[in-house]
Amino acid sequence: MRAPITMKGAQRLREELDQLKSVKRPKVIAAIAEAREHGDLKENAEYHAAREEQGFIEGRIKQLEGELSHAEIIDVSKLNAGSKVVFGASVTLADVETDEEKKYQIVGDLEADIKLGLIAISSPVARAMIGKLEGDSITIDAPAGQREYEIVSVSYAG
């Protein structure tokens, strides 16, 4: 099965991939070349740090290329699920006890970023919301115990 990803998420990952290939990879190659000029590589911390960074960069490039090539890109703005929560939905939840509201968009695992309000489709919060409707209540197992939320609104903006 192909992993779902939103168009925005795919674009963000392509931009990261481009940045890694066109900026970070050449920079680390130059750092390795410069460190080599300093002589003995066994005790050359700059060389070892640059090689380690190169390994991380190459690993992330491979990961992004693989994920993007196998992803199913979904145009969220074309989804017409109404007030039902499905992949790509932006959902506003209200804590039943505190009335505090939080807004999340359900996205693919690779593009999830809680700081941006993007939660993975595989997360417990997303799984609790999938298939529910605006006005429904959901219960989420949180570290501090169970929390009850009401689905205030569901939208499908691109």
Tens of pLDDT, residues 2-59:
889 999 999 999 999 999 999 999 999 999 999 888 877 778 888 999 999 999 999 9
Spatial CB neighbours of 33, under 8 Å, sequence gap ≥ 6 = none
> Which class is domain 3-74?
mainly alpha
Residue 127 reports pLDDT greater than 80: yes
pLDDT of residue 158: 57
With a cut of 70, say whether residue 102 has pLDDT above it: yes
Residue type, 3: A
Beta-strand relationship, 71-74 and 3-6: parallel
Q: Under CATH, which number does the domain 76-155 receive?
A: 3.10.50.30
Is the C-alpha dihedral spanning 8, 10, 14, 19 positive or negative? Answer: positive
Can you give the pLDDT at residue 28? Answer: 96
pTM of the model: 0.78
Show me where the domains of the chain are located.
3-74, 76-155
SS3 letters for 35-101? HHCCCCCCCCHHHHHHHHHHHHHHHHHHHHHHHHHHEEEECHHHCCCCCECCCCCEEEEEECCCCCE
